[in-house]
Amino acid sequence: MRPLGKEEEGVQIVQKTSPNSISILEHSFTFDSVVDESSTQHDIFQLVGLPLVENCLAGFNSSIFAYGQSGSGKTYTMWGASNSLSADCSLSQERGLTPRVFEQLFFRINEVDSAFFDSISRVSWLLNAGNEILHFFFLGTGKAFK
């Protein structure tokens, strides 16, 4: 759930009714978990990003799929505020999932004993921005390849 925009202020149609449920008008929906407008980027990372990194290190393929209508907060959730990735804000609390996941992934790879963990890390990132699909691959060395 995202905060209401100025043009939407008034009656809130979606209500969080429990840690894993919402109601929309008279209908209730249950999920693995629900975050609301008071949740921080750190909360989202703890809920989604941290388990994803640990699953990757355990040998499981993992992905985050952000889907929703325009203005629903996908870009903010994945990347954070527009100024959160500038050089002087590298540790900004507004960083989204993507920079936090990459930071944690490479921190954990460096932390693990090299005798225990000997492989090449590959990260694939797909972005559909305005119907233009950009697909990037990265090696653990940070070099792009095709």
Binding-site positions for ATP read 68-75
Long-range residue pairs from 75-84, CB within 8 A, at least 24 positions apart, any chain: 77/41, 77/44, 80/41
Instruction: Point out the annotated binding site.
Output: 68-75
CA distances (Å), origin 15, targets 18, 33, 36, 48, 53: 9, 14, 9, 21, 30
Give the pairing of strands 14-18 and 21-24: antiparallel
Task: Classify residue 95 by burial, with Cβ atoms within 10 Å: 0-12, 13-18, 19+.
Answer: buried
Q: How far apart are CA 76 and CA 29, in angstroms?
A: 24
Q: What is the DSSP letter of 72?
A: S
